[in-house]
A and B are shown apart, each in its own frame.
Chain A
């Protein structure tokens, strides 16, 4: 049906969009009104909830990208490459949110725009790895090869995360930070904080699902267009 080709999965998309919007706004309300003020840092500490949730959702997205890449290599079905590509792009956006949020928080709390905290550093390097993913894809003309290379790199990139975190963490325990302290090092979570955090994490999970769904549909549209272009040439 022509209609469904241009508007596939619209109902599901709508449901996810509404759920995500409600979840994020709801979590924001919880952060503003329910979460307690932290003793030393004050209101700015509340950035932590969305900062951490975005980082977590971003990392989850990269993991999905790696798994989808692996499945693509095993089955060679386009839909897995579409998922992998979408998960990388969405992951990049979520991670960027986390990095920028963390930076603003650090600037107010510890008077520095950047802390070489192992988690933050790992996350930023991951950002670079997956930006390189897009550079790699852009440089390959053949679509099949593009998907294949992307999948391999998505897997290899994600595999480097554990060792990356370990090495940076080990490096830092030997070289303690001179400027500012690590974000969550000295932070103790009161029960209401933990609850707020869990709510934020849940909200971002729903957001991730909605974003992924939308981005995958976009990828399908792009592939449809490419197929049409090839048909005509």
Chain B
């Protein structure tokens, strides 16, 4: 169908946003855990 690329594009964008968010969650978690470990070593 003519509108197939639009559907694909739409899904890529929607799921892309989701994936980006999940990645930020993972990255933030890793940074926090590292910071916590560092502080605990200091204590």
Query: Which A residues have a C-beta under 8 Å from some C-beta of B?
Result: 2, 6, 24, 28, 37, 41-47, 50-51, 54, 93, 96-97, 100-101, 104-105, 107-109, 207, 211, 214-215, 217-218, 221-222, 224-225, 228-229, 231-232
What does DSSP make chain A's interface, helix, strand, loop or mixed?
helix
Q: Which residue of chain A lies nearest to B8 when distances are taken between CB atoms in the complex?
A: A43
Q: Give complex CA distance A97, B18 in Å.
A: 7
Q: Which residue of chain A lies nearest to B13 when distances are taken between CB atoms in the complex?
A: A100
Contacts of A47 in B (CB 8 A): 6-7, 10-11, 14
Give me 24 A-to-B residue pairs in the complex whose CB atoms sit less than 8 angstroms apart, sorted by A's number.
A28-B15, A37-B1, A41-B3, A43-B1, A43-B3, A43-B7, A44-B3, A44-B4, A44-B6, A45-B7, A46-B7, A97-B18, A101-B10, A108-B3, A108-B6, A109-B3, A214-B25, A214-B29, A215-B25, A218-B29, A228-B39, A228-B40, A229-B39, A232-B39
Interface residues in B, total, Cβ within 8 A:
28
Contacts of A105 in B (CB 8 A): 6, 10
